[in-house]
Structure 1
C-alpha cells in the first residue's frame, strides 16, 4: 500500500516527465528566423534562449510597452 509520500513522488515524476517531453516542441514553435514585426533576423542567442520567439528583442520590447503581449 502506497503512502502519501509515494503518491506525491509518483505525481511529481509524471509531471516532470511530461514537462521534459514537451520541451523539444518549443523549438518548433518559431516559424521563421526573421522578426515578424521588422523583418530583421532574430539573433541566434535569442533563438536559443527563447525558441518560440517570433520577434527580435527590440520589437518585443516595443510590444510590451504598448501592451501587445499576444503571440
Structure 2
C-alpha cells in the first residue's frame, strides 16, 4: 500500500546517487598521456613540474583557473526536496 512517505533509506539512496554522478562527471574530465609544453589557449609555456603533476595537462594555471571559475557557474541537478534548497 502506498502511503506517500519515502521508504527506509530513500534519503541515503539520493545522497549516494548524487555522489556517484559527481564522481562520474569528474572522471570524464580526467586526461591521460603526456601534457602540452605550451598552453592551448594563450600559448604560455607550461612548467615541467606542472606537466609531471597533472597528467595530460593542456592549460597553464591562469587559463585553468579561469575555466574552473566558468564551470562553477553551471548548476548541477538539485535532488534535495527541501524548500530552502529550491530557493537558492
Q: TM-score, normalised by structure 1?
A: 0.48
Larger RCO (alpha carbons 8 Å, 6+ apart): 1
TM-score (structure 2 length as normaliser): 0.42
More helix by share: 1
